[in-house]
């Protein structure tokens, strides 16, 4: 493969990654996006340290985390890809919006917004490029209390 083809495949991983939550495809898409196992680092949002997880466990966690949202929309742009052999670093900007049901929002806002960056690592596998590590660095949030309320609901 050429550098441009590899770069295009890695950028496509970001699109598929966003579609996991936005289309609620927790079965097939994680297999097309992630290595097994892979490391996820959402410490900037959740406060939990990075963890390596088997793909099946992650798929269950995704379903549990995103099923209750009315809708989500992840816009991932500004991709900067650095490829070294069968490994790559992939940086991108993200704007992630998450809408909660009225019974959780009450009379307040119904959208949790996260803005920041992904700094992911990708590995070429026998099935193509896959993210081996996903790191989200949130630089701004609105209505982050909705995440806790959503988790309790």
What number is the average pLDDT over the span 57-69?
Answer: 90
The share of the chain scoring above pLDDT 90, in percent, equals 86
Residue 147, pLDDT above cutoff 90: no
Rounded Cα distance, 137 and 13, in Å: 18
pLDDT score recorded for residue 67: 87
Banded pLDDT at 59 (limits 50, 70, 90):
very high
Distances, alpha carbon 86 to alpha carbons 72, 116, 130, in Å? 32, 27, 10
Mind listing the pLDDT tens digit for each residue in 7-42?
999 999 999 999 999 999 999 999 999 999 999 999
């Amino acid at each position: 493969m050429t550098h441009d083809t590899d770069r295009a495949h890695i950028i496509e991983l970001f699109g598929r990654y966003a579609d996991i939550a936005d289309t609620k495809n927790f079965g097939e898409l994680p297999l097309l996006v992630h290595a097994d196992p892979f490391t996820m680092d959402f410490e900037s949002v959740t406060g939990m340290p990075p963890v390596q997880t088997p793909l099946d466990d992650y798929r269950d966690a995704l379903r549990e985390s995103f099923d209750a949202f009315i809708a989500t929309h992840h816009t991932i742009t500004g991709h900067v890809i650095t490829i070294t052999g069968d490994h790559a670093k992939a940086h991108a900007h993200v704007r992630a919006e998450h809408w909660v049901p009225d019974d959780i929002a009450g009379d307040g806002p119904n959208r949790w917004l996260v803005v920041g960056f992904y700094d992911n690592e990708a590995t070429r596998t026998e099935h193509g490029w896959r993210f081996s590590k996903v790191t989200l660095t949130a630089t701004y949030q609105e209505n982050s209390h909705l995440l806790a309320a959503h988790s309790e609901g």
